[in-house]
Amino acid sequence: MSLQNVNVLLGVTGGIAAYKAPDLVRKLTGLGANVRVVLSPSSAAFVTPLSLQAVSGNIVHQHLLDPEAEAGMGHIELARWADVLLIAPATAHCIAKLAHGMADDLLTTLVLATPAPVFIAPAMNQQMWAAQATQANLKTINERGVTCFGPASGEQACGDIGYGRMLETVEIAQLLDEALASRSLLVTETQDAAETQDSESGLLAGKHIVITAGPTREAIDPVRYISNHSSGKMGYSLAIQALALGAQVTLVSGPVDIPAPIGCTVIQVQSAVDMHTAVMHAVQHSCDIFIACAAVADYRVADIANQKIKKDNDEMTLTLVKNPDILADVAALSNPPFTLGFAAETHDVERYARGKLTRKKLNMIAANDVSQPGIGFNQSDNALTVFTADTQIVLPQQDKLALAKQLLTIMAHNVSKH
């Protein structure tokens, strides 16, 4: 675990998502972290210091000029203690203060005083998130090395729907865990262990990887479409982990409610034809690896209605035509990249996966049984069986982010033999 014995200083600011802070502390300590909490002046309106002290096992810090604190662990010592500083939730006001280097309370003072890396998990109204000032402030702190986790999209406390929700606590903890691993922040017991981690963090260095993710939408008329249950979580997890392993990543994404991973090029598409066009353009520009993780519709409507179809009849017949096979077309290029496909099946998983591997002339395929409850489409967990022409590796059920790292590690070793 990358968070084992890591000192995490958790800053909590005054947004409604602050009520999730005790659960976030539990998630971090569950991964082995030592957690101390700092509350902004307004955050205590949403979460009590006592609840955070109970779950962290440490006194909660609130005031910059606290005589008792300065007599013991003063704010400078607290800044030195931290291996990492995480602010969750981070309000628009907090982000603005970070961008302008303000230090008018304990938390913002610690941001300036600590040499530790800083991470934020934003939470705010969707319009505040989209505001030019907020986006400019985010750009500023990102350029200074602050890493942003999220936000997610969905229904907000005010009733609005859109980006601005804080990520779930389990996602924040997992992302922090993986980010620390990629930054090689772990204190290892031996130099050999440190060298091993450095090697893993650069496992895909110098490689350009094109990844597809999410579903496609095949229009019926201006308001209706055919799609599937793909959430895009597996593809986005692969993009995050590929970046952590040193790769240059181009993510071709269907419509999903996941924020784009910072550091990769994202191409948003809707239909299978759109995705085919984007992928064929991307892979022919110095692409080393192509990962086809998207759940691409096999068929599209032959004639899309220009106007909304009315319910004038009891039945409606649609004529469907086959969509282009993106993965097969990439593998058939005269100088194809290393190709990794996915096979989401409901029965005879190995037979269909091996058939797809051979028929499309792929280098590797990752198969899963989407009929199993709790894994696959629109789930946080997955389980895969990875096939090459002469190998088979089973990756048991686990969080998709952790699973993505295992899959990419297997792939990287096969790429080196390719």
pLDDT value of residue 71: 47
Tokens 């005083």 -> residue: 113
Q: What angle do CA 320, 324, 326 make, to 5 degrees?
A: 140
Distance CA 79, CA 82 (A): 6
Residue in 206, 343, 201, 202 with CA at minimum distance from that of residue 287: 206
CATH homologous superfamily for 202-417? CoaB-like (3.40.50.10300)
C-beta of residue 326 within 8 angstroms of C-beta of residue 212: yes
pLDDT value of residue 201: 58
| DSSP 3-state of 396 | strand
Distance CA 16, CA 153 (A): 16
Sign of CA dihedral 350, 355, 356, 358: positive
Residue in 185, 58, 29, 66 with CA at minimum distance from that of residue 119: 185
Q: What is the 3-state secondary structure (H, E, C) of 155-219?
A: ECCCCCEEEEECCCHHHHHHHHHHHHHHCCCCCCCCHHHHHHHHHHHCCCCCCEEEEEECECCEE
Distance CA 365, CA 357 (A): 6
Parallel, antiparallel, or unpaired: how do β-strands 299-301 and 289-292 relate? unpaired
Tokens 């907000």 -> residue: 156
pLDDT value of residue 295: 94
Return the structure tokens found at 291. 């990962």
Tokens 């181009």 -> residue: 250
Return the structure tokens found at 363. 């280098």
Same fold? 7-182, 202-417: yes
Tokens 């999730």 -> residue: 20
Distance CA 384, CA 16 (A): 37
pLDDT value of residue 187: 34
Return the structure tokens found at 123. 């939470």
Q: What angle do CA 311, 314, 315 make, to 5 degrees?
A: 100
Q: How far is CA 403 from the centre of its chain?
A: 12
- Answer left, alpha or beta for residue 109, where phi above 0 means left and psi between -120 and 50 means alpha: alpha
Parallel, antiparallel, or unpaired: how do β-strands 299-301 and 218-221 relate? unpaired
Q: What residues have CB less than 8 Å from 190, skipping those under 6 apart?
A: none
Residue in 78, 61, 80, 84 with CA at minimum distance from that of residue 3: 84
Question: Cis peptide before 22, with omega less than 30 degrees from 0?
Answer: no
Is 94 a catalytic site residue? no
pLDDT value of residue 192: 41
Which residue ranges make up each domain of the chain?
7-182, 202-417
Q: What is the pLDDT along the chain (418 residues), one digit of tens a residue?
A: 468 888 999 999 988 888 999 999 999 988 888 999 998 888 888 888 888 888 888 888 887 766 555 444 556 778 888 889 999 899 999 999 999 988 888 888 888 888 888 999 998 888 888 888 888 888 888 878 888 887 877 766 667 777 788 888 898 988 888 777 754 433 333 334 344 444 455 789 999 999 999 999 999 999 999 999 899 999 999 999 999 999 999 999 999 988 888 888 999 999 999 999 999 999 987 899 999 999 999 999 999 999 999 988 888 899 999 999 999 999 999 999 999 999 988 888 889 999 999 999 999 999 988 777 766 676 778 889 999 998 899 888 888 888 999 999 999 988 977 6
C-beta of residue 271 within 8 angstroms of C-beta of residue 218: yes
| DSSP 3-state of 62 | coil
pLDDT value of residue 182: 56
Catalytic residue among 94, 158, 264, 287: 158
pLDDT value of residue 305: 93
DSSP state of 322: E
Return the structure tokens found at 136. 């400019």
DSSP state of 337: P
pLDDT value of residue 200: 56
CATH homologous superfamily for 7-182? Flavin prenyltransferase-like (3.40.50.1950)
Tokens 């496992």 -> residue: 203
Helix H segments across 245-389?
A: 272-283, 326-331, 349-359
